[in-house]
Structure 1
Amino acid sequence: MTNAQHVRMPNSFAYDISPENRLNDVEFYLRPSDRTGIESLLSRDDPAARNMPRLVEGNLRYKMRTAGKAIGKGIDQIALPMKRITYAESTGSVRKGILTMSIAERPGRIPVGSLLGATLLGMSRNQKEPLKKEDGCTVIVCVMKIETVEPV
């Protein structure tokens, strides 16, 4: 006879949400034009792209492999280039900016070629994901609002 005790799993583990058990559930969504833009950024033809951090490059490649196709009415609620994204960090700060398919930092813009931009790309409203900051700490980012921006 064994002396084993029944151990109750904490509530956080009540549902297995590992990728193997998601079946057709997709975490991120991209349009075909976004995939083309990411491929262009990753091609390293642009001298600025050669300095892209490996973490950003890995994140973008992961999203290219796993993202579902963004089509239909729900596309308005997906963080894609040329959309104004309002997001909150677990540190409590709420910020917003326009997601752009670039590497260059500009005021009011979130380039996809940055840690933040690569993390936000393809997320949907109320989705949370970890974000590794430049200083080495990790925070949780939650997409709060997504607005379409009219081209200038």
Structure 2
Amino acid sequence: MTNAQHVRVPNSFAYDTTPENHLNDAEFFLRPSDRADIEWLLSRDDPAARNMPRLVEQILRYKMRTAGKAIGKGIDQIALPMKRITYSESNGPVRKGILTMSIVERPGRIPVGSQLGATLLGMSRHQEEPLKKEDGRTVIVGVLKIETVEPV
């Protein structure tokens, strides 16, 4: 008789090729500065922040509670603010935008304060997660590519 235990393989890793370098089997990853920025975003007193949908707030709080620490060379493959994220929704068209620590919608930007941005935040390349659309449908959003954006 063996003492082997079944181990679930997580959907995502902070991409490194050796199993011992996978970060604590977390599904999402955030830098310490991202956690501080999310706290700031959730605690702001401006009217736009007060109008953030409750679902977005819940997603962000969940990610802060469960995310692993994003460090090392695997950080290049994690959807974090100021990265260009190429994604698709349920085999729909491929789209891209720069993830921003904001609640303001702008062309070419994906604010973390939106359902899409909150869902993408901390995901790894090739990871898929459910995304509840404003019309009530749930689709699967998958991260296809992550690129670092040079500051302007």
TM-score (norm 2): 0.84
Query: 42-51 vs 106-115, which deviates more?
Result: 42-51
Aligned Cα root-mean-square deviation (Å): 1.8
Q: Percent identity?
A: 84
Question: Aligned partners of 2:64 and 2:46: how far apart in 1?
Answer: 20
Aligned positions of 1:3-152 closer than 5 A: 24-152=24-152
Question: Aligned partners of 1:147 and 1:67: how far apart in 2?
Answer: 21
Question: Aligned partners of 2:8 and 2:68: how far apart in 1?
Answer: 21
SS of 1:151's partner is: coil
Q: What are the ranges of 5 or more consecutive residues in structure 2 without an aligned counterpart?
A: 1-6, 11-23
Q: What are the ranges of 5 or more consecutive residues in structure 1 without an aligned counterpart?
A: 1-14, 19-23
Note the C-alpha offset of 1:44.
3.1
Deviation per residue, 1:112-133 (Å, 9 max, x gap): 0000000000000000000001
SS of 2:38's partner is: helix
Deviation per residue, 1:32-88 (Å, 9 max, x gap): 110011001100322210000000000000000000000000000000000000001
The higher radius of gyration belongs to 1
2:47 partner amino acid: P
